[in-house]
């Protein structure tokens, strides 16, 4: 890696930004928002890393990343050196780690022993500890984001997904951040999660350092989710029981059962490396002020943290701008046991038993004698039960129909996107094809996010389903749940690939301000999105497909043009009537009728 960086640094510079130069051929990687180059500081000849981020991409996230990096100064975190802004781009200049990243390191050296892996993990945790003291969690820990210097110092890089917190394990998050293979189950499933998402990543990295692979061999994200939940982690004989216990604690599927950060830093595996001698207890915060865990975690914490040696303070302390008074501090530390109770004092969630359902049918044999003898009354009660059951069945059939319509709509969108791939090589329309793919994939993510939120997470009954809880208990729902998750995660993978492709060809899209307004990860419908989706779809038809359709009798092009035209009409009307859209899309039209239909939409 050092040889390659040396070669890249010697390339003739073709770009100069104030006191820095670099060659646009000297690419060494890609961060969360931009491309990273090997560069040079002119006045000192210092070789540096320069990440180029287009300003139109996401300025809020960019500012957040820069502010976070400015706040971090630690030997085990990549150091920010400078930030330069031009009208089009932001250039983030940081120290260059010439030893490559941990992913390349593992490929080069293969499986490590515990004695080799532990110092690496310790350095990573030192970087995490320092970021915690500044109230920052990373949220994208993975081997590719651990860089190595020529002196074999391991440093955490790329804080593009990082987030500030007030309470280390109390703050809830729900945004999708990170790399799927190293994401915790809660992040993958878009459920609320805490900073323990990074505990999961630490467990995976340590396992991979020793075993040379991740615990699960998976085909796709759905397979990953399934194996995270249902497959036991297997260890080779070279991993000690203590390391196994640590890894299993980090990789607990349920967050409340997973190791907390205090348990990580005080684990016997690290032999008190993270515990520091107390110098000024009055000016520093106890861990009890920033940590908030469930009672189930408290039981495990007692084994590790209660008997801390005297004159030793907890490693986790955050430098808050507003510090509590000494009185507030002392009131929270009366005894070790009381401190632990306060440390993990979390509101308990009480699960109420499900209300027993009354039998809606009436059995004649179980009725009192007087009831059995009154035939008219029996008939009336049975009739009521029959109509109640029929009404429930009708509701559930309607629920199923609503969801099936959404799933069929998703399949049609996938069909449009797949057919767009055939037009990627058409030079004159290449940019529009890329944009259209982004539009369709974003639309898929909008629908699957709604479906997942409604049907799986149970947040909002967006589709106004009747007696929804009864519907979820039916066998058919498991099938529907599987389909939704498959479409959601497959769509997210394709969406990310398309977004990366457009970022790599940023100059092709940067002047389209309407597109730049929707070029983001916001999966909620907006007027801007619908208007642009209609405009772009019809432009592509008018400028390209329509001419081909008139000149050639090609059934495939005819169907594709008809479907895309119908989509443009549907999305442009902000319509929620998916059933009507599906009905129109299924309608068979002769060639002449199809052209007339398309012309009516294009030119009226």
> Known catalytic residues?
140
Count of beta carbons in the 10 Å neighbourhood of residue 566 = 21
Closest CA to 36 of 160, 201, 198, 178: 160
Spatial CA neighbour of 26 closest among 57, 47, 55? 47
DSSP 452: I
Q: 490 has which bridge partners?
A: none
Chain-centroid distance, C-alpha 23: 33
CA distance 474 to 467: 12
CB atoms within 10 A of CB 264: 26
CB 304 within 8 A of CB 310: no
Tokens of 405: 């319509």
Does 401 show up as a binding residue in the annotation? no
Quickly count: other Cβ atoms within 10 Å of residue 178's Cβ.
23
Q: Closest by alpha carbon to 304, among 255, 270, 334?
A: 270
Spatial distance between the Cα atoms of 163 and 158, rounded to a whole number of angstroms: 12
Q: At which residue do the structure tokens 């249902």 appear?
A: 230
For residue 526, give every residue at least 6 positions away whose Cβ sits within 8 Å of its Cβ, in sequence order, or none: 518
Query: 298-303 contacts: CB < 8 A, separation 24 or more?
Result: 298/340, 298/341, 298/343, 298/344, 300/249, 300/259, 300/263, 301/260, 301/262, 301/263, 301/340, 301/343, 301/344, 302/340
Annotated binding site for ATP: 51
Annotated binding site: 51
């Amino acid at each position: 890696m050092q040889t390659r960086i040396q070669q890249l640094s010697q390339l003739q510079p073709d770009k100069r930004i104030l006191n820095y130069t670099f060659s646009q051929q000297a690419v060494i990687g890609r961060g969360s928002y931009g491309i990273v180059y090997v560069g040079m500081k002119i006045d000192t000849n210092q070789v540096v890393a320069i990440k180029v981020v287009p300003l139109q991409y996401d300025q809020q996230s960019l500012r957040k990343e820069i502010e976070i990096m400015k706040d971090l100064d630690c030997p085990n975190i990549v150091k920010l050196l400078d930030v330069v802004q031009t009208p089009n781009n932001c250039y983030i200049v940081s120290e260059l780690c010439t030893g490559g990243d941990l992913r390349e390191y593992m490929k080069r050296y293969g499986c490590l022993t515990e004695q080799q892996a532990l110092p690496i993990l310790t350095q990573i945790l030192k970087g995490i500890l320092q970021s915690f003291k500044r109230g920052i969690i990373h949220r994208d820990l993975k081997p590719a984001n651990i860089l190595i210097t020529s002196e074999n110092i391991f440093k955490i890089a790329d804080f593009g997904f990082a987030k500030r917190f007030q309470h280390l394990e109390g703050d809830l998050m729900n945004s999708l951040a990170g790399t799927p293979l190293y994401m915790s189950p809660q992040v993958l499933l878009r459920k609320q999660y805490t900073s323990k998402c990074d505990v999961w990543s630490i467990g995976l990295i340590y396992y991979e350092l020793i075993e040379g692979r991740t615990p699960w061999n998976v085909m796709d994200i759905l397979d990953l989710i399934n194996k995270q939940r249902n497959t036991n982690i297997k260890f080779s004989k070279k991993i000690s029981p203590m390391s196994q216990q640590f890894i299993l604690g980090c990789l607990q599927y349920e967050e409340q059962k997973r190791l907390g950060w205090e348990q990580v830093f005080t684990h016997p595996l690290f032999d008190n490396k993270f515990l520091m001698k107390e110098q000024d207890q009055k000016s520093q915060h106890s861990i009890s002020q920033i940590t908030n865990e469930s009672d189930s975690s408290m039981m495990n914490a007692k084994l590790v943290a209660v008997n801390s040696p005297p004159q030793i303070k907890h490693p986790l302390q955050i430098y808050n701008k507003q510090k509590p008074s000494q009185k507030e501090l002392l009131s929270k530390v009366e005894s070790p046991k009381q401190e632990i109770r306060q440390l993990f004092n979390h509101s308990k969630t009480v699960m109420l038993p499900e209300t027993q359902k009354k039998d809606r049918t009436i059995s004649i044999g179980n009725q009192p004698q007087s009831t059995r003898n009154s035939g008219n009354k029996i008939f009336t009660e049975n009739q009521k039960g029959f109509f109640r059951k029929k009404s429930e069945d009708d509701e559930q059939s309607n629920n199923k129909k609503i969801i099936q319509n959404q799933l069929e709509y998703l399949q049609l969108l996938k069909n449009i996107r797949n057919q767009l791939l055939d037009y990627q090589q058409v030079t004159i329309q290449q940019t529009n094809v890329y944009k259209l793919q982004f539009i369709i994939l974003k639309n898929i993510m909008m629908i699957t996010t709604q479906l997942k939120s409604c049907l799986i997470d149970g947040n909002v009954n967006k589709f106004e389903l009747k007696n929804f809880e009864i519907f979820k208990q039916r066998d058919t729902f498991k099938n529907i749940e599987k389909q939704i998750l498959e479409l959601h995660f497959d769509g997210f993978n394709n969406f990310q690939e398309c977004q990366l492709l457009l970022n790599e060809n940023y100059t092709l899209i940067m002047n389209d301000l309407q597109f730049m307004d929707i070029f983001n990860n916001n999966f909620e419908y907006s007027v801007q999105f619908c208007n642009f989706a209609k405009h772009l779809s019809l432009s592509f038809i008018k400028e390209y497909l329509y001419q081909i359709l008139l000149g050639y009798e090609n059934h495939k092009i005819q169907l594709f043009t008809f479907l895309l035209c119908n989509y443009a009409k549907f999305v442009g009307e902000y319509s929620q009537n998916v059933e009507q859209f599906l009905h129109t899309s299924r309608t068979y039209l002769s060639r002449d009728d199809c052209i007339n239909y398309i012309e009516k939409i294009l030119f009226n």
